[in-house]
Structure 1
Amino acid sequence: MYEEYEKIVINEIDKTLENVNKEDVETLIQWICSAEKVFFVGVGRVLLSLEAIAKRLNHLGIETVVVGEITEPAITDKDILIVGSGSGETGFPLFIASKAKSFGAKVIHIGTNRESSMAKYTDHFVYIPASNKYDSSLNASKQPMTSLFEQSLLILGDIVALMIVNQDKIDISSLWQYHANLE
Structure 2
Amino acid sequence: MDYVGAKEKIILELSHTLSLVSSESVNELVRSIENADKVFFVGVGRVLLALEAMAKRLAHLGVKTYVVGQITEPAITERDLLIVGSGSGESMFPLGIARKAKGFKAKVAHIGSNPESSMKQVADLFVRIPVQTKLNLAGEVPSVQPMTSLFEQSLLLLGDTIALLMVEEKAIDMHSLWQLHANLE
Is 1:146 the equivalent of 2:154? no
Give distance in 2, aligned partners of 1:47 and 1:177.
Answer: 26
Matches within 5 A, 1:73-152: 73-132=74-133, 134-135=134-135, 138-152=140-154
User: Match of 1:140, SS?
Assistant: coil
Residue aligning to 2:163: 161
Q: CA deviation at 1:164?
A: 0.1
Question: 2:60: which partner in 1?
Answer: 59
Question: Partners in 2 of 1:181 and 1:30 — Cα distance?
Answer: 29
Once the two structures are TM-superposed, the CA of residue 136 in structure 1 deviates from its matched residue by: 5.2
List per-residue Cα deviations over 1:35-68 (Å, max 9, x = no partner).
Answer: 0000000000000000000000000000000000
Deviation, structure 1 residue 139:
1.3
Inter-partner Cα distance in structure 1 for 2:136 and 2:177: 39
Give the secondary structure class of the aligned counterpart of 1:65. Answer: strand
Structure 1: which 5+ residue stretches go unaligned? Answer: none
CA distance in 2, matches of 1:76, 1:19: 33
Provide the TM-score with structure 2 as the length reference: 0.97
CA distance in 1, matches of 2:42, 2:27: 21
Q: 2 CA distance for matches of 1:89 and 1:98?
A: 12
Cα RMSD for the two superposed structures: 0.8
Instruction: Look up the SS of the partner of 2:82 in the other structure.
Output: strand
Q: What are the superposed Cα offsets for residues 80-112 of structure 1, whole Å, 9 maximum, x if unpaired?
A: 000000000000001000000000100000000
CA distance in 1, matches of 2:19, 2:98: 28
- Number of equivalent positions: 182
Among candidates 163, 179, 182, match of residue 177 of structure 1: 179
Q: How high is the sequence identity, in percent, across the aligned residues? A: 60
Deviation at 1:127, TM superposition (A): 0.5
Q: Which runs of 5 or more residues in structure 2 are unaligned?
A: none
**What stretches of structure 1 move > 2 A for 4+ residues in a row?**
134-138
Q: Which residue of 1 aligns with 2:34?
A: 33
Deviations, residues 6-63 of structure 1 (Å, cap 9, x unaligned): 0000000000000000010000000000100000000000000000000000000000
CA separation in 1, counterparts of 2:176 and 2:149?
Answer: 33
CA distance in 1 between counterparts of 2:149 and 2:135 reads: 14
Tell me the equivalent position of 1:68. 69
